[in-house]
Amino acid sequence: MNDKTKDFVTVAGIDCGTNSIRLKVSKVFADGSVEDVVPRMLEVIRLGQDVDKTHRFADDALQRAYAAARRFAEVLKEHPADGLRFVATSATRDAQNRKEFEDGIESILGVRPEVIPGTEEAALSFLGATGSVPRRGLEAPYLVVDLGGGSTEMVMGGDGKSAPATSVQSAFSMNIGSVRMTERHLRHDPPTQDEINQASEDIDRHIDEAFAHVPAGKTRTIIGVSGSVTTMTALVLGLKEYDHRAVDGVRVSYKDIFKVDNRFLNMPRAERATYKTIHPGRIDVVGGGALIWNRVLTRVAQAAKLDHGQVIDSFVSSDHGLLDGIVLDYGTRLLND
């Protein structure tokens, strides 16, 4: 598609993570605006099932991924796009049999999954999350945290003075996520305090490494993206069912999020299952995500206090992240070709 006279392109993006796979079909305009063609689709496939332990995709997980890809293929037949980009992240980076997965997806969708490094994942998440931030009047620099099933990305932008607030200045991908922490540490239902302590120590070690690459102390605004963060935000808001519009752009206090995070971390799975706000595929891992989020928020606030004396006691929840970044980046590149 090399028609430079067009002021928009229709692109499809697929974000295949450790826990979920999502599809977005949108028009991307030359001015950088985006208009969805169909509502985004999400399916929880748990592609990263046991990958932390076996370093291989389980056969059942592959079949779930292929089934979701076939359903996405039907949607794309009804809504043709100028291009499709399929991005795979943490679990696929770690799987020794990833070629089998890539071959299977290519046979269904006609495109080969791009297994992107954590640094690119972080940059795309930042692009998607900060797309509407300036209109909200938030203070830069922004720290975007994308809490996934297998990895968690920290991305710091500029201060809005010496560097644009929406420009990535540093990023790091931590090999921790809701699925990975649950499988590695939180084995009982509900988890024991010893398991929670061990998981917290593991998370803090990864945060220490991230802070060596990302100057988190300079943070003025924390933006949290991903299903784990927005699900917990929905629970803070008391939503009876998940509504992506209600959680997008909401500022949440530490007091409220810590109360909800700790409650659901220590809650039996059967009780969690009674909350329609939580996607059925997240019920068993949402506690692991909550624990990571608690530690990240606590540690960033401590770093900011030490760095410039600012008290950070809230974050901004964003329903826009990696998938939005994939679509916007890809559409912009097609328009400029």
Q: Which of 40, 37, 51 is nearest to 14 (CA)?
A: 40
Which CATH number is 148's domain given?
3.30.420.150
Q: Which of 119, 90, 83, 125 is nearest to 20 (CA)?
A: 90
- DSSP E strands in the chain: the ranges are 8-16, 20-29, 34-44, 83-88, 114-115, 142-147, 152-157, 168-174, 221-225, 251-253, 314-318
The Cα–Cα gap between 240 and 309 comes to 38
Whole-model pTM: value is 0.92
- Among 108-122, 179-193, 229-243, the minimum mean pLDDT is found in 108-122
Same domain as 252, residue 226: yes
Higher pLDDT, 1 or 290: 290
**Given a cut of 60, is residue 2 above it in pLDDT?**
no
Same domain as 151, residue 53: no
Say if 325 falls within a structural domain.
no
Of 55, 84, 117, which marks where a domain is finished?
A: 117
Same domain as 216, residue 142: yes
Neighbours of 168 (CB within 10 A): 20
Say if 261 falls within a structural domain.
yes
**Given a cut of 50, is residue 235 above it in pLDDT?**
yes
- Structural domain tally of the chain? 2
**Given a cut of 50, is residue 234 above it in pLDDT?**
yes
Mean pLDDT throughout 92-101?
Answer: 93
Q: Which of 51, 152, 50, 45 is nearest to 92 (CA)?
A: 51
Q: Are the CB atoms for 328 and 32 separated by under 8 Å?
A: yes
**Given a cut of 90, is residue 133 above it in pLDDT?**
no
Say if 2 falls within a structural domain.
no
Half-sphere exposure of 240 (CA within 13 A, CB side): 0
Say if 54 falls within a structural domain.
yes
Query: At CA 33, angle to CA 116 and CA 120, rounded to 5?
Result: 15
Q: How sure is the predictor about 134, in pLDDT bands with cuts at 50, 70 and 90?
A: low
Task: Give the per-residue pLDDT at 166.
Answer: 86
Task: Give the per-residue pLDDT at 1.
Answer: 44
314 burial class (0-12, 13-18, 19+ CB within 10 angstroms)?
middle
- What pLDDT, in 10s, does the model give residues 3-40? 445 799 999 999 999 999 999 999 999 998 999 999 89
Same domain as 287, residue 197: yes
- What pLDDT, in 10s, does the model give residues 205-229? 999 999 999 999 999 999 999 999 9
Say if 337 falls within a structural domain.
no
Same domain as 169, residue 70: no
Same domain as 271, residue 180: yes
Q: How sure is the predictor about 132, in pLDDT bands with cuts at 50, 70 and 90?
A: low
Which CATH number is 16's domain given?
3.30.420.40
Say if 329 falls within a structural domain.
no
Same domain as 190, residue 240: yes
**Given a cut of 90, is residue 275 above it in pLDDT?**
yes
Same domain as 51, residue 25: yes
Say if 144 falls within a structural domain.
yes
Mean pLDDT throughout 233-256?
Answer: 96
Of 66, 82, 117, which marks where a domain is finished?
A: 117
- What pLDDT, in 10s, does the model give residues 32-72? 899 999 989 999 999 999 999 999 999 999 999 999 999 99
Report the phi/psi class of residue 167: left, alpha or beta, with left for phi > 0 and alpha for psi in -120 to 50. Answer: beta
Neighbours of 161 (CB within 10 A): 9
- Summary mean pLDDT of the chain: 94
By residue range, what is the domain housing residue 29?
8-117
Of 117, 149, 184, which marks where a domain is finished?
A: 117
Say if 3 falls within a structural domain.
no
Task: Give the per-residue pLDDT at 6.
Answer: 75
Mean pLDDT throughout 249-266?
Answer: 97
The Cα–Cα gap between 154 and 214 comes to 7
Mean pLDDT throughout 99-119?
Answer: 95
Element (H, E) at 304: helix 286-308
Q: CA-based Rg of the chain, rounded to a whole angstrom?
A: 19
Same domain as 168, residue 257: yes
Q: State percent of the chain over pLDDT 90.
A: 89
Same domain as 282, residue 152: yes
Task: Give the per-residue pLDDT at 228.
Answer: 94
- What pLDDT, in 10s, does the model give residues 179-193? 999 999 999 999 999
- DSSP E strands in 158-206: the ranges are 168-174
